[in-house]
């Protein structure tokens, strides 16, 4: 049955779809069971130990048609060589998909995805991925294992740096943008790559924030929190999804029929291809849901999974499973058809070598316009967490001392998941400041990475600060303690960086803090002791210049947090869209309201928080109507005024509360947002359109619907800074 899907078709020039389907049909008619299983077998090149025989084993497997896709091949020659073996040596000459983790850039490394989400500007992410795809494709890749769209409210989990934070709405906007960026307008263009939304599903809810741990979420939480960015990716026409390592309802994602077949391929009619995460087909054995490799292969394919990344249970077991009638050939054909179809969409059948062009590679990598886009993205991602007594921006004429080893680290400027990015290409904060000021800047590391201080390192830092008019302390996380396999039980600054900051604050020199981080951090002591804190995350290859332009006021920061910063790790998980509970404590009186005896319920810095060098005022939130019926829309409009002294950008946030539902509803949820650029004194009307589907949730009847009743529509500067509220009635 040909896979026809208008969402995927948007990436196919007219007329090619029919031709692709007929070619796929003709291949399927001639393929052996082993060749079909081969298309579902993905082998890793990078982790080949490099011994001669193992390389030869991979080469012969490719030449025998036993491999359908590769990952982690790095040099162009290896990719071309293996593609030639597949196309010219194997019986049917089916080209390989060649995948790679292009998470926030290829050689031009952009800010980490969580930082990009802090811009609240999905167009920025689309532009970044367009460039990333151009570079990755020029390096021989036709598939990226991105965007990561996992929603998470647990900063202990290191992989929050790969996503867009805690909001399904913000996450969906960035998911759509990233898919469009990678896949462009036509997947057969040699500068586009197949995107892969991951990790399906709910990996961001690992218990305890512990990597690879159990996930145990309700169907309601799955539907309302974790699935929306995947559905948004499918609606945007993503060509592939990747299964998560974790279980849902105690069943590993790779072998879980319900979210895969019932939701993804049933409700959403997804016609792309599903790849497992690393070895997760085989890991069903470790989960205790498969007896052996044969059982694991059977369960994965039957559940609706397709490509087996790196465990080889499919190539080893599937032909016999089909021969023995335990897996239907129809299911196998459906799986292989999906793989062949995306190869067709990529134009690989017409020209399997279109991604191998040394000249294009050399002129594409780190092109000036790419670096410029990375610098722009970095500037837009910075969040001014606080700026008491307007300590920022700094005066370029002032004697500035720079303290902190992170300021001098190319690797940490790039961040985790920057494989093909080179630290030597990164412009560090130290480089950026010296270039901006056109003079040498007094610098001392103050600590050894990740955060080891000595009396001597502190003394040197104090001395450097004492001689200056202002001290910029760069503190935070190394890339190494963020990303995959980097969960932390404490989320303070690592090591003894705090001792360094406290020593600096003891001097008479004013201190500003520049935070480099891959997750929200519990830094209440920093907020108490340092009046100005600029969060620059891991800002990418052009991070240094972007930080300098922002510290000295050439750029006015406009980032807003995509994830709450807790006072304490003990508050986690923590998010803006919490439920009220039966004892919300609104009266502020009862000792028996939900809460702690040693910490507040609220975060240190809330979702949506971000300051500026100017200020914005909101007046008269109006609704175009106070009541709508199902299927109708309304407009919410607020007047925004720049009441400060400099031009700046504001992120106007609209929230909603469903006051009564068949299930308890969050105290607020992000509904929509708009960015607006205003000169000092300028005003603008900012309007968002609301329809009943925006008010929907997973009802007690287990359907996605908006229930009639009263809603509060709110507008604010952050989840904890609501300025105006208007009542809306959804009529029966
Ligand atoms: C890793 C990650 C996944 C990545 C894959 C290939 O374990 O979980 O996000 O795409 O393996 O590197």
Q: What is the CATH number of the domain that holds 414?
A: 3.40.50.1700
Q: What share of the chain has pLDDT > 90, as a percent?
A: 93
Q: What is the CATH number of the domain that holds 140?
A: 3.20.20.300
Atom of ligand 1 nearest to the CA of 198: 9
What is the gyration radius of the CA atoms in the chain, in angstroms?
A: 26
Mean pLDDT, residues 418-447 taken together: 98
Contact in structure between 7 and 235 (CB atoms under 8 Å): yes
Contact in structure between 437 and 394 (CB atoms under 8 Å): no
Q: Is any ligand 1 atom within 6 A of the Cβ of residue 198?
A: yes
Element (H or E) spanning 169, and its range?
helix 168-183
Enter the tokens of residue 122. Answer: 């999905």
pLDDT at 505: 98
Q: How confident is the model at residue 46 (pLDDT cuts 50, 70, 90)?
A: low
Q: Which of 328, 266, 272, 321 is nearest to 296 (CA)?
A: 321
Q: Which of 483, 218, 279, 314 is nearest to 287 (CA)?
A: 279
Better-predicted residue by pLDDT, 377 or 586: 377
Query: Does residue 361 have a pLDDT over 70?
Result: yes
Is 269 a member of any domain?
A: no
| Same-domain pairing of 552 and 647 | no
Mean pLDDT, residues 174-196 taken together: 97
Query: Does residue 431 have a pLDDT over 50?
Result: yes
pLDDT at 53: 57
Q: Is any ligand 1 atom within 6 A of the Cβ of residue 697?
A: no
Tell me the residue range of the domain where 544 lies: 373-571
Is 464 a member of any domain?
A: yes
CA distances to 237, 458, 543, 545 from 144, rounded to whole Å, are: 15, 44, 24, 28
| Same-domain pairing of 517 and 626 | no
Q: How confident is the model at residue 8 (pLDDT cuts 50, 70, 90)?
A: confident
- The residue whose CA is least distant from atom 7 of ligand 1 is 278
Q: Is any ligand 1 atom within 6 A of the Cβ of residue 277?
A: yes
Atom of ligand 1 nearest to the CA of 245: 8
Query: Does residue 261 have a pLDDT over 90?
Result: no
| Same-domain pairing of 355 and 382 | no
Q: Quick one: DSSP state of residue 588?
A: S
- Pocket perturbation via mutation, ligand 1, pick of 44, 46, 202, 278 by most ligand atoms within 8 A of CB: 278
pLDDT at 370: 98
pLDDT at 11: 84
State how beta strands 648-658 and 709-718 pair: antiparallel
Contact in structure between 122 and 95 (CB atoms under 8 Å): no
- The residue whose CA is least distant from atom 10 of ligand 1 is 145
- The CA 278 to ligand 1 mean position distance, Å, reads 6
Domain boundary among 571, 597, 626: 571
- How many domains are there within the chain? 3
Q: Is any ligand 1 atom within 6 A of the Cβ of residue 159?
A: no
Q: Which residue has tokens 């900051």? A: 501
Q: How confident is the model at residue 50 (pLDDT cuts 50, 70, 90)?
A: low
Q: Which residue has tokens 């991604």? A: 355
- Pocket perturbation via mutation, ligand 1, pick of 97, 145, 213 by most ligand atoms within 8 A of CB: 145
Dist. CA 107–CA 43, nearest whole Å: 23
Enter the tokens of residue 676. Answer: 């607006």
pLDDT at 1: 39
pLDDT at 47: 53
> Residue 730's beta-bridge partner residues?
628, 709
Query: Does residue 52 have a pLDDT over 90?
Result: no
pLDDT at 587: 73
Active site residues: 277
Stretch among 194-203, 258-267, 631-640 having the lowest mean pLDDT = 258-267
| Same-domain pairing of 547 and 685 | no
| Same-domain pairing of 388 and 347 | no
Sign of CA dihedral 576, 581, 587, 590: negative
Q: Is the peptide bond before 687 cis (omega within 30 degrees of 0)?
A: no
Tell me the backbone φ, ψ of residue 373, rounded to 5 degrees. Answer: -65, -35
pLDDT one-digit tens code per residue, 517-529: 999 999 999 999 9
Query: Does residue 49 have a pLDDT over 70?
Result: no
> Residue 625's beta-bridge partner residues?
none
Mean pLDDT, residues 377-388 taken together: 98
| Same-domain pairing of 389 and 473 | yes
Query: Does residue 447 have a pLDDT over 80?
Result: yes
Q: Which of 502, 527, 514 is nearest to 403 (CA)?
A: 514
Enter the tokens of residue 91. Answer: 């019986």
| Same-domain pairing of 538 and 652 | no
Dist. CA 641–CA 138, nearest whole Å: 45
| Same-domain pairing of 215 and 192 | yes
Domain boundary among 509, 539, 571: 571
Query: Does residue 475 have a pLDDT over 90?
Result: yes
- The CA 213 to ligand 1 mean position distance, Å, reads 15
Domain boundary among 541, 571, 601: 571
Q: What is the largest CA-CA distance in the chain?
A: 80
| Same-domain pairing of 428 and 332 | no
| Same-domain pairing of 342 and 437 | no
| Same-domain pairing of 694 and 567 | no
CA distances to 52, 77, 85, 86, 92 from 81, rounded to whole Å, are: 15, 6, 6, 9, 17
Q: What is the CATH number of the domain that holds 636?
A: 2.60.40.10
pLDDT at 703: 97
Where in 469-541 does DSSP place strands (E)?
A: 470-476, 511-516, 532-535
Q: Is any ligand 1 atom within 6 A of the Cβ of residue 279?
A: no
pLDDT one-digit tens code per residue, 479-506: 999 999 999 999 999 999 999 999 999 9
474 contact partners, CB below 8 Å, separation of at least 6: 402, 403, 404, 405, 406, 407, 429, 513, 514, 516
Element (H or E) spanning 710, and its range?
strand 709-718
Is 543 a member of any domain?
A: yes
Q: How confident is the model at residue 2 (pLDDT cuts 50, 70, 90)?
A: very low
pTM for the whole thing? Answer: 0.98
Is 576 a member of any domain?
A: no
Is 258 a member of any domain?
A: no
- The CA 70 to ligand 1 mean position distance, Å, reads 13
Q: Which of 221, 222, 228 is nearest to 256 (CA)?
A: 222
pLDDT one-digit tens code per residue, 61-113: 999 999 999 999 988 889 999 999 999 999 999 999 999 999 999 999 999 99
- The CA 150 to ligand 1 mean position distance, Å, reads 13
State how beta strands 247-248 and 240-243 pair: unpaired
Is 561 a member of any domain?
A: yes
Is 547 a member of any domain?
A: yes
pLDDT at 607: 99
Sign of CA dihedral 330, 334, 339, 344: positive
Better-predicted residue by pLDDT, 644 or 76: 644
Contact in structure between 175 and 199 (CB atoms under 8 Å): no
| Same-domain pairing of 82 and 222 | yes
- The CA 73 to ligand 1 mean position distance, Å, reads 14
Enter the tokens of residue 720. Answer: 């904890």
Q: Which of 431, 428, 436 is nearest to 409 (CA)?
A: 428
Is 447 a member of any domain?
A: yes
Contact in structure between 616 and 672 (CB atoms under 8 Å): no
- The CA 343 to ligand 1 mean position distance, Å, reads 21
- The residue whose CA is least distant from atom 11 of ligand 1 is 278
pLDDT one-digit tens code per residue, 503-519: 999 999 999 999 999 99
- The CA 482 to ligand 1 mean position distance, Å, reads 14
- Pocket perturbation via mutation, ligand 1, pick of 242, 254, 277, 484 by most ligand atoms within 8 A of CB: 277
Q: What is the mean pLDDT of the chain?
A: 96
Dist. CA 508–CA 471, nearest whole Å: 10
């Amino acid at each position: 049955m040909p896979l026809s899907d208008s969402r995927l078709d948007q990436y196919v020039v007219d007329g090619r779809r029919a031709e692709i389907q007929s070619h796929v049909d003709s291949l399927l008619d001639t393929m052996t069971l082993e060749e079909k299983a081969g298309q579902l077998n993905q082998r890793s090149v990078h982790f080949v130990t490099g011994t001669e025989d193992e390389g030869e084993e991979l080469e012969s497997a490719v030449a025998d048609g036993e491999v359908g896709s590769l990952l982690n091949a790095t040099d162009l020659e290896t990719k071309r060589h293996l593609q030639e073996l597949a196309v010219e040596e194997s019986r049917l000459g089916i080209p390989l998909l060649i995948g790679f983790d292009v998470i926030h850039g290829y050689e031009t490394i952009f800010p980490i995805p969580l930082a990009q989400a802090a811009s609240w500007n999905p167009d920025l992410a689309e532009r970044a991925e367009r460039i990333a795809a151009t570079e990755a494709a020029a390096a021989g890749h036709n598939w990226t294992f991105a965007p990561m769209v996992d929603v998470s409210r647990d900063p202990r989990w290191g992989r929050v740096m790969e996503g867009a934070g805690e909001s399904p709405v913000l996450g969906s906007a960035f998911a759509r943008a990233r898919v469009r960026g990678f896949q462009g307008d036509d997947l057969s263009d040699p500068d586009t790559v197949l995107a892969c939304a991951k990790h399906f599903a709910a990996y961001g809810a690992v218990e305890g924030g512990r990597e690879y741990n159990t996930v145990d979420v309700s169907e309601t939480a799955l539907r309302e929190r974790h699935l929306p960015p995947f559905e948004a990716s499918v609606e945007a026409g993503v060509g592939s999804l990747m299964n998560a390592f974790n279980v849902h309802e105690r069943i590993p994602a790779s072998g879980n029929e319900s979210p895969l077949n019932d939701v993804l391929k049933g409700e959403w009619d997804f016609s792309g291809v599903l790849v497992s995460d690393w070895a997760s087909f085989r890991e069903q054995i470790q989960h205790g849901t498969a007896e052996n490799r044969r059982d694991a292969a059977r369960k994965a394919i039957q559940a609706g999974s397709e490509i087996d990344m790196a465990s080889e249970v499919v190539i080893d077991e599937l032909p016999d499973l089909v021969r023995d009638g335990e897996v239907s050939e129809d299911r196998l054909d459906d799986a292989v058809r999906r793989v062949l179809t995306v190869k067709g969409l990529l134009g690989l059948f017409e020209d399997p070598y279109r991604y191998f062009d040394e000249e294009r590679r050399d002129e594409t990598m780190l092109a000036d316009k790419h670096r410029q886009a990375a610098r722009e993205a970095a500037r837009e991602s910075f969040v001014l967490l606080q700026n008491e007594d307007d300590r920022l921006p700094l005066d370029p004429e002032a004697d500035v001392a720079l303290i902190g080893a992170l300021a001098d680290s190319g690797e940490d400027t790039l961040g985790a998941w920057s494989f093909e990015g080179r630290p030597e290409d990164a412009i560090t904060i130290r480089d950026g400041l010296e270039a901006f000021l056109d003079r040498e800047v007094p610098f001392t590391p103050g600590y050894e990475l990740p955060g080891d201080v000595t009396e001597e390192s502190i003394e040197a830092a104090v001395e450097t600060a004492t001689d200056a008019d202002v001290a910029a302390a760069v503190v935070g996380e190394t890339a190494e303690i963020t990303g995959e396999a980097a969960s932390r039980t404490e989320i303070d600054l690592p090591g003894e960086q705090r001792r360094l900051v406290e020593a600096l604050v003891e001097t008479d020199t004013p201190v500003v803090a520049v935070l480099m981080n891959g997750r929200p951090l519990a830094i209440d002591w920093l907020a108490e002791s340092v009046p100005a804190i600029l969060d620059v995350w891991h800002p990418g290859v052009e991070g240094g210049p972007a930080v300098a332009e922002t510290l000295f006021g050439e750029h006015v920061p406009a980032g807003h947090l995509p994830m709450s910063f807790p006072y304490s790790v003990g508050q986690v998980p923590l998010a803006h869209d919490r439920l009220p509970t039966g004892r919300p404590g609104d009266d502020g009186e009862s000792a028996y309201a939900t809460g702690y005896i040693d910490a507040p319920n609220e975060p240190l810095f809330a979702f949506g928080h971000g300051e500026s060098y100017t200020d914005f005022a909101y007046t008269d939130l109006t609704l175009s109507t106070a009541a709508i019926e199902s299927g109708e829309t309304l407009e919410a409009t607020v007047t925004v005024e720049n009441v400060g002294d400099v031009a700046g950008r504001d992120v106007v946030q609209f929230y909603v509360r469903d006051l009564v539902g068949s299930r308890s509803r969050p105290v607020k949820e992000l509904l929509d947002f708009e960015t607006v650029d205003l000169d000092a004194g300028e005003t603008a009307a900012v309007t968002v359109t609301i329809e009943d589907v925006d008010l929907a949730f997973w009802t007690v009847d287990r359907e996605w619907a908006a229930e009639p009743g009263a809603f509060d529509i709110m507008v604010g500067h952050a989840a904890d800074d609501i300025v105006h509220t208007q009542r809306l009635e959804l009529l029966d």
